[in-house]
Structure 1
């Protein structure tokens, strides 16, 4: 294949299974991708990708040549050592961030404004993948980065600590303990709401309550953070949650919070990305925007350098 740009288009179509999404990921127009696909089809005498439902699925020929083409592109990247330039002011790219609703609430409003000011045509998308699917999704480009408390993300993953957080006890305004100090004994006598999801580091919350003898006091279990708010404001339940989320929500909902008395260890909110995209200029730009956003929150920003973890996925 004489035109190297066609390799990038093939890779994007292989990954995205959509002309529109491929164009967004490459930061070019849909017409440019369609034109490149037409040239690819002419080169191979095959349609290569066929629209089935809403997805451009590869043909048997595309499946057979994909390993060699993708490996060739990887070798080109390694051989040149020069990443493709990323010009945010001209880009139409869509960046996909793996986060839960907590990350959307805390991070997305500020990130959108920061990105929009610099790159008005760049789009943001959030996607929540199970923990076991997140590393593959970061590796194949379906996800650009992940944000959160994700200690299980390790294999071939880079991590940047964004800030350190502590847990607080959240309750409705007017709760009997809104203006009274909750000690450990009083906390364990309360009914609790618990947001749970396997793979998250916040599993420590359930362990702490159970170990303290409050298993039967966990009255409501939910998989989402935002739905917890609506249960909380109409009950006397207490919710142990990250302080950054409690502070954000208390600006918009009738909530109060105070330091939790169980002595739970602080935890780190991190930014994660795959080694495959460590030097990718677009990915680096997005990471810099996110790091700057957290540095401007008023919380203590991270000071450690970027580093790679190469341990098996837990």
Structure 2
């Protein structure tokens, strides 16, 4: 095989099928002289004339007949396995998509995304995972995770693509029967209250915490927890206040007896994005999932 040009084999196959150099040239979209040159190279490489000109056209030699089926099979496998489009058919797919989400992300994205899959890809499923930043980067590169969706400031390497979906800001939640009845807290009132604080490292909640630090605002923290899911129940049964991403607060208010009020300071919104590794930018299933998220959540 050393020095053998595999590009010559399709030329031999085309001449065999067309029984002429000119016909092979048309089929391959090549010039007739170029086909003749390629045939001469192949003859020299294999030490055989390969085709003999007859009244019925270019007749193959026995050596050529041994090449035809392997060459045809090889080209078909290349077309099907290597060069084929990675088109994705959601209606017939049983793909399990793995998405990195925080618990906030699950509340924000999963209900509508699962409903979309039920309509468009009923055989598909989703696995939600939470991984440390370094492990997440490796999992995206290896294809063990399809997308990271939410607030992932660590995924900044040039091998990762990202796309903004929408911006978030923050809202405060109080119990439904809390004596404060206004729509926006004053700073004095905010500081006088006991706070429940979610400390989830590397997540969106840090945006608000860093804002307080920059403004030298110190609250009276009564409860500190790494979990969001206990917050609506704690707030509903106490006089505490919690500051959470707005979409999370709105979700809490739909199933728990809590009320939303604006925080005393304006909080610059943060972007929620979807992130994927550049290796899978052209993957049909990955591209379909990204397009679905843009359709459902993109601003």
Question: Normalization by structure 1: what TM-score?
Answer: 0.65
The equivalent residue for 1:98 is 100
Structure with higher Rg: it is 2
Kept in 1, the 8 Å contact 2:183–2:261? The answer is no
Kept in 2, the 8 Å contact 1:166–1:242? The answer is yes
The equivalent residue for 1:24 is none
The equivalent residue for 1:225 is 228
C-alpha displacement of 1:83 = 4.3
Kept in 2, the 8 Å contact 1:188–1:212? The answer is no
The equivalent residue for 2:172 is 169
RMSD: 2.2
The equivalent residue for 2:121 is 119
1:271 maps onto 2:280 in alignment? no
Runs of 4+ in 1 over 4 A off after TM superposition: 79-83, 210-214
CA distance in 2, matches of 1:175, 1:209: 24
1:153 pairs with one of 147, 152, 155 = 155
1:130-149 to structure 2, matched below 5 A, reads 130-149=132-151
C-alpha displacement of 1:213 = 5.2
1:284 maps onto 2:271 in alignment? no
Partner SS for 2:148? strand
Unaligned segments of structure 2, at least 5 residues: 1-77
C-alpha displacement of 1:206 = 2.3
Residue-pair matches, total:
220
Kept in 2, the 8 Å contact 1:171–1:178? The answer is no
1:10-89 to structure 2, matched below 5 A, reads 83-89=85-91
- Deviation larger for 209-218 or 241-250: 209-218
C-alpha displacement of 1:144 = 0.6
Q: Deviations over 1:102-121 (max 9, x none)?
A: 11112111111111111111
Question: Normalization by structure 2: what TM-score?
Answer: 0.68
- Deviation larger for 278-287 or 175-184: 175-184
Unaligned segments of structure 1, at least 5 residues: 1-75, 296-300, 302-314
CA distance in 1, matches of 2:198, 2:129: 19
